[in-house]
């Protein structure tokens, strides 16, 4: 129960990684707020957790909308007195893993609004609520695609790595650590629906460890980064990729 009495906000919390993060943190004692542009999915995920005796709330929120994010953070602060953990997980994924010339400007703008501006908006909105809270921690979700840079999606996740370093520097004086996780190919239901079998095989062939990544692999990385065991870790991106696209 390491996180007993702590409050965590998880964006994209209605499904996939976000829902798994919420379950893990609430099982560790935290009250989790699952925010998702799909409010029904967020409410449903929170209801599943509360049915297990865990503490969770689901809210509708578009991370690219500054007013909506601000309202969520103010609500959390009003109810709980502050915020201890922010997980910037909301993002647009495999369908945007295409070259700029193929995607079109409207879709390019949308993926950058969500993946990049969403991370900026949520981090800035949470700063005051997290200031001075013992063990305050932000974790951004980047991607192994940030190291390959073959697509609009990869560039957006490269930007998330850069934001992680910048916010780690800016928020250090407030006692807030900022790190990121770069997952490799984790075949969640969403990814399976969007990714062709051929592309999945190509990524697996580039891994050193020849097994599919599991959702729990990413959950364990998150639990480490928000724990006291990582109290001297900030500005880092932890790659959890099975050795995909290794570089020095």
Q: Which residues participate in catalysis according to the annotation? A: 153
CA distances from 149 to 12, 130, 214 (A): 23, 33, 23
**Do the beta carbons of residue 64 and residue 113 sit within 8 Å?**
yes
3-state class (DSSP) for residue 128: helix
Residues in the chain: 248
**Do the beta carbons of residue 106 and residue 207 sit within 8 Å?**
no
DSSP string covering 164-204, please? HHHHHHHHGGGT-EEEEEEE--B--HHHHHHS-HHHHHHHH
Nearest to 118 by CA among 77, 163, 185, 75: 163
β strands within the chain, DSSP E: 7-11, 31-36, 56-60, 85-88, 137-141, 177-183, 237-240
């Amino acid at each position: 129960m390491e996180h007993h009495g702590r409050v965590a906000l998880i964006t994209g919390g209605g499904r996939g990684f976000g829902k798994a993060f919420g379950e893990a943190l609430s099982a560790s004692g935290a009250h989790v707020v699952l925010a998702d542009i799909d409010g029904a999915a967020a409410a449903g995920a929170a209801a599943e957790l509360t049915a297990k005796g865990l503490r969770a709330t689901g809210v509708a929120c578009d991370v690219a909308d500054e007013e909506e994010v601000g309202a969520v953070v103010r609500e959390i602060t009003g109810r709980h007195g502050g915020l201890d953990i922010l997980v910037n997980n909301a993002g647009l994924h495999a369908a945007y893993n295409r070259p700029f010339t193929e995607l079109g400007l409207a879709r390019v703008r949308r993926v950058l609004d969500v993946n990049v501006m969403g991370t900026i908006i949520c981090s800035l909105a949470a700063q005051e609520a997290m200031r001075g809270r013992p063990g305050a921690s932000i974790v951004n979700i980047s991607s192994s695609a940030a190291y390959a840079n073959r697509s609009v999606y990869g560039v957006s996740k490269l930007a998330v790595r850069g934001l992680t370093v910048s916010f780690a520097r800016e928020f250090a004086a407030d006692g807030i650590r900022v790190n990121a996780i770069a997952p490799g190919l984790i075949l969640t239901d969403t990814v399976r629906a969007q990714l062709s079998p051929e592309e999945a095989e190509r990524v697996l062939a580039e891994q050193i460890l020849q097994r599919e990544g599991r959702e729990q692999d990413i959950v364990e990385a998150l639990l480490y980064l928000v724990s006291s065991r990582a109290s001297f870790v900030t500005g880092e991106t932890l790659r959890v990729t099975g050795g995909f696209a290794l570089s020095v």
